[in-house]
Chain A
Amino acid sequence: MAGLKVRIGDLELKNPVMTASGTFGYGTEYSDFMDLGRLGGIFVKGTTLEPRQGNDYPRMAETPSGMLNSVGLQNKGVDYFVDHLYPQIKDYDTHMIVNVSGSTIEDYVACAEKLANLDKMPAIELNISCPNVKEGGMAFGTSCQSAAEVTREVRKVFPKTLIVKLSPNVTDITEIARAVEDEGADAVSLVNTFLGMAIDVESRSPKLSTITGGLSGPCIKPIAVRMVWQVYHAVRIPIIGMGGICNWQDAIEFILAGSTAIQVGTYNFIDPAATVKIVDGIEAYLQRHHIASVDELVGQINYL
């Protein structure tokens, strides 16, 4: 059997296929469709210190080969997560990783501290890239200084694997990646959604209540692959790549661009069992190409 194991910080993943936060609920939503234990990891819904109701309806607009969303981090807060959701999901045979978001550095730190105490929470993903909240979120991820500061402060209280999720809505994503690497991030995940907008031409109204929202799906894939490739050449820490992955070919493309692992996001909505098909597809690819371990493919582009 081909080697699918990969390592992200202190985390050993059984395979490089994980799910993107905000597209996979808490995993339980998908248990009818697949064996969650086949995944390398599950990144659960963005969690904040206090409960949030999220943005008003409508929060979603379909766009060519993708969708815009402006959910706005609707969640019941970290205490509810710790008391009610974590007990339900902690024994899944995969890594459960919480995506942590906030409006202030203090929020991020307090949230990370509460999660650091959970035995079966080996990592967190710091969300400094949500485009759909008025304060915080993406604001932290669009300047090197604030990205560095939030990473530094969370690093002080979270000794386990710290992944920082980067925003593509920046001039140079490699600068941000370097800034968080310098402050002790164990890995970076990229990309979050692209800030976008859609207008209904009949009503002449924006399609989202928030006017702008985050664009995801296959339409962003070439840009995401490019950003992964740039970051791969800028940092030494592992990259978790994402952006429009629908099948094993997309996953391999991200790995070749420099991703050690990948996340499947929006496509889970269309095929809820897509992730397991991708795991099988990667394994078959490795066998067909006589590659012993998926690790050997990371960043291995044959340039023309």
Chain B
Amino acid sequence: MKVSDFTIRSNTRLNDRNYLLKVTPAGNEPLPEMYPGQFVQIRVDNSPQVFLRRPISINYIDHQQNEIWLLIQRVGEGTAKISDLSAGETMNLLFPLGSSFSLPDQKGNFLLIGGGVGTAPLLFLGKKMREKGLEPEFLLGGRSEKDILQRDDFEHLGTLYCTTEDGSLGEKGFVTQHTILQKKRYDFIFTCGPKPMMVAVARYAKQNGISCEASLENLMACGFGACLCCIEKTIRGNVCACTEGPVFNINELTWLD
């Protein structure tokens, strides 16, 4: 873990409230090894309303460009200030933080299920799986077509299935209602998104005997295990989602109890 200033290379608005920031170390030092599921803590200065850093998952690492990609959903004042940053400006990051998704050792059927901005770490996971010769498939859900972010990037890495609540893209409904889940047998599911979606995915995985890991988005203060605010109740008791997670095997969680 370290704290460094980063320069914003580009800030692209993807839809009405999501922004893709590509950032590179201000001192041009090469990025350390980072793993899918890990996150950064972004410092937001000059606002009394925004005191704490904002945890944002790593969307993608472009080692050639020495860039971290961060997908920012404009929700409150903190993410608004971050998404207002322009190319050339700097931001301070605490990184890399947290645990990562397990990269399978053997070939199999892998489904990466994401909802909303929770799709962010799945792009990086898909890339790492590709690099290992694995074939990830993606199932992404959103309210409407515009909410399914980075479709081209996902399609570049593997087959992409979509669901939208209004039926404007892919099948109408929620991710857990997609027909691919009836048609195909998966060995491992990786998921990130709103908690109700992840709980539904976990339930599907458990009922069908499929291994499943979920990346949590608990509220946190520090991000490195000091404040004990972001705890998740597990079969081992309360643990920090920032250090023991954010990625958990669903068998460790108590969601389905």
Which A residues contact B (CB, under 8 angstroms)?
Answer: 22-25, 29-30, 32-33, 45, 53-54, 56-67, 69, 71, 74, 217-219, 266, 268-273
| CB-nearest residue of chain A to B220 | A60
Which of B225, B227, B232 is within 8 Å of A60, CB to CB?
B227
Choose among B221, B225, B232 the residue with the greatest number of A CB atoms under 10 Å from its CB: B221
Within 8 A of A (CB), among B235-257: 237-238
Within 8 A of A (CB), among B202-228: 218-228
Which B residues contact A (CB, under 8 angstroms)?
Answer: 1-3, 43, 48-53, 94, 218-233, 237-238
Q: Are B2 and A69 within 8 A (Cβ)?
A: no
| CB-nearest residue of chain B to A51 | B237
Given contacts A57-B233, A64-B49, contact A23 B227 (CB under 8 A): yes
Q: Are B219 and A269 within 8 A (Cβ)?
A: no
Q: In the complex, what residues of A have CB within 8 A of residue B218's CB?
A: 57
Can you list 16 pairs linking A and B with CB atoms under 8 Å apart? Answer: A25-B226, A29-B224, A54-B231, A57-B233, A59-B231, A63-B51, A64-B48, A64-B51, A65-B48, A66-B51, A67-B51, A69-B227, A69-B229, A217-B51, A266-B221, A269-B221
Q: In the complex, what residues of B have CB within 8 A of residue A67's CB?
A: 51-52, 221
Q: Are B53 and A54 within 8 A (Cβ)?
A: no
* CB proximity of B77 to chain A, nearest CB, Å: 10
Interface residues of chain A: helix, strand, loop or mixed (majority) = loop
* CB proximity of B36 to chain A, nearest CB, Å: 21
Q: Are B228 and A71 within 8 A (Cβ)?
A: yes
The 10 closest A-B pairs by CB, nearest first: A60-B229, A269-B222, A25-B226, A32-B1, A65-B48, A29-B226, A64-B48, A269-B221, A59-B229, A71-B228
Q: In the complex, what residues of B have CB within 8 A of residue A62's CB?
A: 50-52
Q: Are A74 and B228 within 8 A (Cβ)?
A: yes
* CB proximity of A163 to chain B, nearest CB, Å: 21
Q: In the complex, what residues of A have CB within 8 A of residue B52's CB?
A: 62, 67, 269-270
Q: In the complex, what residues of B have CB within 8 A of residue A272's CB?
A: 3, 94, 222, 224
Q: In the complex, what residues of A have CB within 8 A of residue B228's CB?
A: 22, 45, 54, 59, 71, 74
